[in-house]
Amino acid sequence: MKKTEFYAPQIDAIIEGSSPGNNHISHGTYLKLKDIYKAFSCIKAGVDDEIRHTWLEVDRGPVEAFGDYEEFRESGEVSSRKEFEQLWKDYYPDKTKWYGFQTAKYEGTLYFYINGKLLFSIKDDETPVDKNNDPDEFFDGFVEWLEKRVLSEMSKLRQESHTYNSYIQQNLSWSKRYGRIKRKDYWEILGDNAIRPDKKLGEKIISKLEVLVSDMKNKDMKLLPEMTTNKFFRICEICYDANDYFKNSKETFTPQQKYLKMADGRDAGLRNIEGESPQAFKEWYHNGERMGAHPWEICRGGNSTHISLFVSEVDNEWGIWLAGSSIARVEETVKMAVALHEHNISFKLSDADEIVRMVTGNDFIGIVPDTVFPRYCHSLFPKEDNIIDFMNLGPDIDIIPELIQKIYWYPLEEIIPEKGN
């Protein structure tokens, strides 16, 4: 028997367990998806791929929708019904949960997304071949529920679009929105739990950073007439020693050994070429096999938490760029930059102004929805806000009300009915 009502826990289970290639779409479900797309077309589409979106507010439902108490107890997750109900409220603290629903069309294929995850894709003009396949009643029931919800939402939109958008604006969860918060305000709210590069670096180093960044703006980078592997390793050593990475080691390491211990490791054979030969370095630079290699990642880390020292040829000379602006590594990057400057090594610091603002608490942290991973979100914010660090609201419920008050929330995109609908 098909379910006629779906609650947030069941929808979350469908999202988490769904794979578009594995979702069995019966003939009846295919027709419902076509109807959903048609009904949803009353929203004005975006320029690319006919993208349309709205928000669906879904009840969390009764505790039974969360799961079976006996199964939770037998698995050891809870030991009493009271614990089970508390677990349910921990996962679903609010009585409703919001979901982003979106459709798109590309080269004759219709796409259906919830919270940014692709749940269904169907050909616009190809029905399933076998109309007699046994339907998945739970899955088909969800599509039937979704069809009813979309029809209901589109009816509200057509009747009074201002009221429809106003309700979303006033009630959409903060965790689904984009915003920004001044880092100093964020530090104040977190108190002792805040990462404070300003305190770790101190006024003296930050002052030196400000001076060198100012110099970079007023002076062109002095290019090096030649580059060798050993010269690159010696420059890396200045960066390493500025952070005392090997201070407590009983051994003494060469610059190359320090690089091999700290760097990514995928150096494309950089370690093996003749150390004092500019020609060997140039030949490696132009002809070496560097596909998938990371020779410039001098401090290994994740996709956005490593530090790089790039070497680039410019008109037969060589330039150096230092990059590492994640809040987790910015303290190290600043110490490297100051040390290179004090050693009279000309270089460019990527995101220099943003780093100065970050370590003084004068930049903005970009707040992204909980469905967006907080990395590489630069394009999601106005360029003039110069945001390079991102976060979700997070699970710390105690500080969220205070954060919400300090965050500037960007206006939501208005959902506009297509003319004639």
Q: What is the pLDDT of residues 128-180, one digit of tens each?
A: 655 445 556 778 899 999 999 999 999 999 999 999 999 999 999 999 999 99
Q: What is the pLDDT, as a whole number, of residue 133?
A: 54
pLDDT greater than 80 at residue 279: yes
Q: How far is CA 205 from CA 198, 199, 327, 336, 361, in A?
A: 9, 10, 17, 11, 15
Question: How many of the other CB atoms lie within 10 Å of CB of 217?
Answer: 8
pLDDT digits (tens, 9 = 90+) for 27-48: 888 999 999 999 999 999 988 8
The one-character DSSP state at 224 is: B
Q: What is the pLDDT, as a whole number, of residue 168?
A: 97
Q: Tell me the percentage of the chain whose pLDDT exceeds 70.
A: 95
Confidence of residue 220 (pLDDT cuts 50, 70, 90): confident
8/19 Cα distance (integer angstroms)? 19
* Residue 256 phi, psi dihedral angles, 5° rounding: -65, -40
Confidence of residue 98 (pLDDT cuts 50, 70, 90): very high
10 Å CB burial of residue 242 (0-12, 13-18, 19+) is: buried
Q: What is the pLDDT, as a whole number, of residue 129?
A: 56
Of the candidates 145, 150, 148, 149, the one whose C-alpha atom is nearest the C-alpha of residue 2 is 145
Q: What is the pLDDT, as a whole number, of residue 137?
A: 76
Confidence of residue 414 (pLDDT cuts 50, 70, 90): very high
Question: How many of the other CB atoms lie within 10 Å of CB of 316?
Answer: 9
pLDDT greater than 50 at residue 1: no
The pair of structure tokens assigned to 204 is: 């003296």
pLDDT greater than 80 at residue 19: no
128/144 Cα distance (integer angstroms)? 17
Give the HSE-up count for residue 344: Cα atoms under 13 Å, Cβ half-sphere. 0
3-state class (DSSP) for residue 322? strand
Q: What is the pLDDT, as a whole number, of residue 101?
A: 97
Mean pLDDT of the chain: 92
Segment 60-71 mean pLDDT? 95
pLDDT greater than 70 at residue 22: no
221/172 Cα distance (integer angstroms)? 48
10 Å CB burial of residue 114 (0-12, 13-18, 19+) is: buried
3-state class (DSSP) for residue 180? strand
Asked whether 104 and 47 are in contact (CB, 8 A), the reply is no
Of the candidates 331, 332, 334, 325, the one whose C-alpha atom is nearest the C-alpha of residue 304 is 325
Q: Is the dihedral of CA 12, 17, 20, 25 positive or negative?
A: negative
pLDDT digits (tens, 9 = 90+) for 323-350: 999 999 999 999 999 999 999 999 999 9
Parse the chain into domains and list their residue ranges.
8-60+95-172, 180-406
Q: What is the pLDDT, as a whole number, of residue 24?
A: 65
pLDDT greater than 50 at residue 60: yes
CA 87 to chain centre: 27
Bridge partner residues of 408 (DSSP) = 180
Segment 189-217 mean pLDDT? 95
421/44 Cα distance (integer angstroms)? 10
Of the candidates 211, 213, 145, 182, the one whose C-alpha atom is nearest the C-alpha of residue 365 is 182
Report pTM: 0.87
pLDDT digits (tens, 9 = 90+) for 223-267: 999 999 999 999 999 999 999 999 999 999 999 999 999 999 999
Asked whether 235 and 227 are in contact (CB, 8 A), the reply is no
78/266 Cα distance (integer angstroms)? 46
Q: How far is CA 309 from CA 260, 272, 341, 343, in A?
A: 14, 19, 14, 16
Q: Which carries the bigger pLDDT value, residue 268 or residue 133?
A: 268
Segment 199-224 mean pLDDT? 94
Asked whether 389 and 358 are in contact (CB, 8 A), the reply is yes
10 Å CB burial of residue 351 (0-12, 13-18, 19+) is: middle
